[in-house]
């Protein structure tokens, strides 16, 4: 991964390059990223730049042996720590690490803008608890105690440090604070507030901002060959997330507004049997599908609010979908739309913390019914 492959984020890229040129590289850096944002790509691109043998003025060369190894995530001096199921026995840890590392390398190269739910779905971990375990922290300590293979930087990329078991987080505090020479930690977080204060206090924090709609649109057109009309629509729906934009492109047929319309109609009628059927469908879907269904609902409600405020020029929807947004915005009160939006956002937070999908969605449906009928 090179900086040039990541759209936007120019100030952050320049800051990281300048830190190397000025010899002011913080030994522990935390990239506070939005979901579907550039946190992981930035970390991998910075690692590539640091190890590049023929650095350019603003980026790695992409051609040297180290760059080629980094493109496949096989450089021996770059180590990856990520959430995974815990080993049943400590003796099984090395086998588990080797198995998941193969999958991680493919996943991170092909889907660098993905999140933890995508990783869980990719591996079929839906019924397993994933975390960064105490054994992972011991592995980190062993890794940093060894010399680098090629005599340069030794880099540890920790994806989702908020998934660290408390014992693991406490176990690496000392090596975070006093790492061996030329050892650099790059932490990529998507829930900064959930990190231990002791972890945050030992890192230099970089905020990786969501991508602008225009950046996503141009990236889809130039890099993915998407036509301008679809690129504009997807970029609006993505809400600053390239991961969400790719999901929208792959599942466009499943993200139709009809499902949301039918759900709201059932809520308005207080059709409890219908709510149960919708809840069953929701539970049967994967975690990424559940999240994207709710995110899509949020974008529709947002557009309904804009339509109600006579800002139709900001509503990028046409045909039957656009007509529905106008009617829904005209029927539902602003207070109801705001409350529904808030409750959907809260439900997404509950699901992230492993709340029951059945209870969460059914309760959400009941709340929406109450708001629409009040």
Q: CATH number for the domain including 310?
A: 1.20.272
3-class SS at 258? helix
* Tokens, residue 230: 């679809």
For the chain, the average pLDDT equals: 87
Q: What is the CATH number of the domain that holds 142?
A: 3.40.50.300
Domain count across the chain: 2
Neighbouring CB atoms inside 10 A of 318's CB total 10
Taking alpha carbons only, the member of 230, 171, 222, 218 closest to residue 196 is: 171
Q: From start to end of 40-87, where are the E strands? A: 78-81, 84-85
Residue 55 covered by a domain: yes
Which residues are within 8 A (CB) of 11 and not within 5 positions of it... i.e. 6 or more apart? none
**Among all chains, which residue has been given the structure tokens 């180290």?**
66
Please report the pLDDT score of residue 289 as a whole number: 77
| 199/255 same-domain check | no
Residue 72 domain boundaries: 3-208
> To 10 degrees, the CA torsion angle through 172, 178, 180, 186?
60
Domain final residue pick, 182, 208, 234: 208
Rounded to an integer, what is the distance from CA 74 to the centroid of its chain?
A: 23
Domain final residue pick, 174, 208, 242: 208
Q: Distance between CA atoms of 171 and 169, rounded to whole angstroms?
A: 5
Residue 243 covered by a domain: no
* Tokens, residue 172: 């690496």
Residue 348 covered by a domain: yes
Least confident among 94-103, 267-276, 315-324, 332-341: 315-324
82-89 average pLDDT score: 81
Kindly report, residue by residue over 197-208, the tens digit of the pLDDT: 888 888 999 999
* Tokens, residue 162: 């908020």
3-class SS at 158? strand
Domain final residue pick, 156, 177, 208: 208
| 186/274 same-domain check | no
In this predicted structure, the answer to whether residue 193 has a pLDDT above a threshold of 50 is yes
Element (H, E) at 141: helix 134-145
Q: Distance between CA atoms of 47 and 60, rounded to whole angstroms?
A: 10
Kindly report, residue by residue over 34-47, the tens digit of the pLDDT: 888 999 999 999 99
| 159/268 same-domain check | no
Contact status, residue 51 vs residue 148, Cβ threshold 8 Å: no
| 192/264 same-domain check | no
Q: Distance between CA atoms of 10 and 211, rounded to whole angstroms?
A: 11
Residue 238 covered by a domain: no
Confidence of residue 316 (pLDDT cuts 50, 70, 90): low
In this predicted structure, the answer to whether residue 361 has a pLDDT above a threshold of 90 is yes
Please report the pLDDT score of residue 226 as a whole number: 85
Q: What are the φ/ψ torsions at residue 211 (nearest 5 degrees)?
A: -75, 140
- How many residues would you count in the chain? 374
Residue 334 covered by a domain: yes
**Among all chains, which residue has been given the structure tokens 């060959």?**
225
Q: What are the φ/ψ torsions at residue 285 (nearest 5 degrees)?
A: -80, 160
Q: Distance between CA atoms of 329 and 335, rounded to whole angstroms?
A: 11
Contact status, residue 161 vs residue 192, Cβ threshold 8 Å: no
Contact status, residue 70 vs residue 1, Cβ threshold 8 Å: yes
In this predicted structure, the answer to whether residue 317 has a pLDDT above a threshold of 60 is no
| 110/198 same-domain check | yes
H helix and E strand count, the chain: 18, 7
- More confident call, 320 vs 347: 347
């Amino acid at each position: 991964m090179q900086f040039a492959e990541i759209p936007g984020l120019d100030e952050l890229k320049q800051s990281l390059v300048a830190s190397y040129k000025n010899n002011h590289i913080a030994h522990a850096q935390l990239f506070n990223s939005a979901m579907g944002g550039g946190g992981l790509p930035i970390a991998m691109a910075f690692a590539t730049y640091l190890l590049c043998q023929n650095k350019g003025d603003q980026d790695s060369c992409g051609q040297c042996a180290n760059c080629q190894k980094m493109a496949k995530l096989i450089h021996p001096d770059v180590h990856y720590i990520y959430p995974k199921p815990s080993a049943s026995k400590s003796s099984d840890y090395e086998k588990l690490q080797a198995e998941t590392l193969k999958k991680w390398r493919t996943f991170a190269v092909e889907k660098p803008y993905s999140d933890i739910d995508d990783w869980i779905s990719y591996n079929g971990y839906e019924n397993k608890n994933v975390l960064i375990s105490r054994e992972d922290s011991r592995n980190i300590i062993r890794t940093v105690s060894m010399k680098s293979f090629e005599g340069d930087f030794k880099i540890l990329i920790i994806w989702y440090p908020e998934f660290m078991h408390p014992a693991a987080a406490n176990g690496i505090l000392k090596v975070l604070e006093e790492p061996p020479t030329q050892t650099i930690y790059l932490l990529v977080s998507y829930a900064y507030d959930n990190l231990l204060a002791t972890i945050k206090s030992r890192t230099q924090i970089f905020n990786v901002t969501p991508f602008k709609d225009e950046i996503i649109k141009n990236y889809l057109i130039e890099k993915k060959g998407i036509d301008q009309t679809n690129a504009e629509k997807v970029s609006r729906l993505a809400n600053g997330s390239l991961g969400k934009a790719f999901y929208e492109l792959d599942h466009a047929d499943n993200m139709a507004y009809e499902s949301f319309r039918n759900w709201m109609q059932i809520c308005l009628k207080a059709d409890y049997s219908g709510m149960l059927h919708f809840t069953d469908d929701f539970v049967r879907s994967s975690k990424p599908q559940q999240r994207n269904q709710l995110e899509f609902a949020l974008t529709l409600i947002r557009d309904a609010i804009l339509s109600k405020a006579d800002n139709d020029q900001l509503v990028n929807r046409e045909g039957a979908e656009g007509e529905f947004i106008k009617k829904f915005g005209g029927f539902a009160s602003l207070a109801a739309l705001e409350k529904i939006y808030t409750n959907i956002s809260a439900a997404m937070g509950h699901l992230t913390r492993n709340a029951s999908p059945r209870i969460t969605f059914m309760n959400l449906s009941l709340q929406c019914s109450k708001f629409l009928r009040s």
